[in-house]
Amino acid sequence: FETNVVIILAAVFFALLFAIGLNSLARCALRYVGRGATAAAAGEGGATARGACRGGGGIKRRVIRSLPVEVYGSGEDIDGVCVICLSEFVDGEKVRVLPLCGHGFHVRCVDAWLVSHGSCPTCRRPVLEGAPAKSE
Q: How far is the CB of 45 from Zn ion (least distance, A)?
A: 20
Q: How far is the CB of 112 from Zn ion (least distance, A)?
A: 9
Nearest to 67 by CA among 20, 100, 28, 22: 100
C-beta closer to Zn ion: residue 53 or 106: 106
Tell me which residues touch Zn ion (CB under 5 A): 82, 84-85, 101, 103, 106, 109, 120, 122-123
C-beta closer to Zn ion: residue 39 or 101: 101
In DSSP terms, 95 is beta-bridged to 70, 106
86 phi/psi in degrees, rounded to 5: 60, 30
Cβ–Cβ under 8 Å, residues 83 and 122: yes
Rounded to whole angstroms, the Cα distance separating 98 from 104 reads 6
Give the 3-state DSSP-derived string for 96-136, with helices as H, strands as E and coil as C. Answer: EECCCCCCEEEHHHHHHHHHHCCECCCCCCECCCCCCCCCC
In DSSP terms, 104 is beta-bridged to 97
Q: How far is the CB of 98 from Zn ion (least distance, A)?
A: 5
Q: How far is the CB of 93 from Zn ion (least distance, A)?
A: 9
